[in-house]
Amino acid sequence: MTEPAAKSARLLGRIYFIAIIPFFGGAIAPWILGPAASTSAEFVLWSFTVLVFCNAGWLGFQAGSGERFIALHALVSLAICAAAVGAYMTVGDSIPFVAVALLTFLHRVHLIWLQKTSRLAVEIMKQHRRFIWTLLVCHMMVLLNLIYLVKTR
């Protein structure tokens, strides 16, 4: 790997580390503060923001690289973002489980789409894959916390 690509991968790793901190906080907050500690709305907002940012970044990268099927990439990106908006809207109806479950699914769809159409450097893709899988684990922990909250009521 060339030096600029290695620097980019290290920088991306640091950005991902900072971005994952709120996910860890949302996943372990009920264990520290008790099951009644609800961080679902903040967790869903951060998950929504990260998903939209990742989709927009990928779409911008594809558009800038002269991708042949940019309309297809835009359609998939907009569909994922529209579903994410729908997931975020369910939080207002106090249904955080549906929102977190849908965002978990959408993050996985984003990763699958990225792996199928990726022209990124191997190290950058590896960093992104680690980030998404860590994010998915945090989503699963939040889903388990929400199930436990319902069981304790």
3-state secondary structure of 68: coil
Per-residue pLDDT, averaged over 68-93, amounts to 87
Please say whether the beta carbons of 91 and 41 come within 8 A: yes
pLDDT tens digits for 91-146? 876 678 889 999 999 999 999 998 888 777 788 888 889 999 999 999 999 998 88
Buried b (16+ CB within 10 A) or exposed e, 76-99: bbeebbebbeebbebbeeeebbeb
Residue 13's pLDDT is 83
Q: Which pTM does this prediction carry?
A: 0.87
Q: What confidence score (pLDDT) does residue 84 get?
A: 92
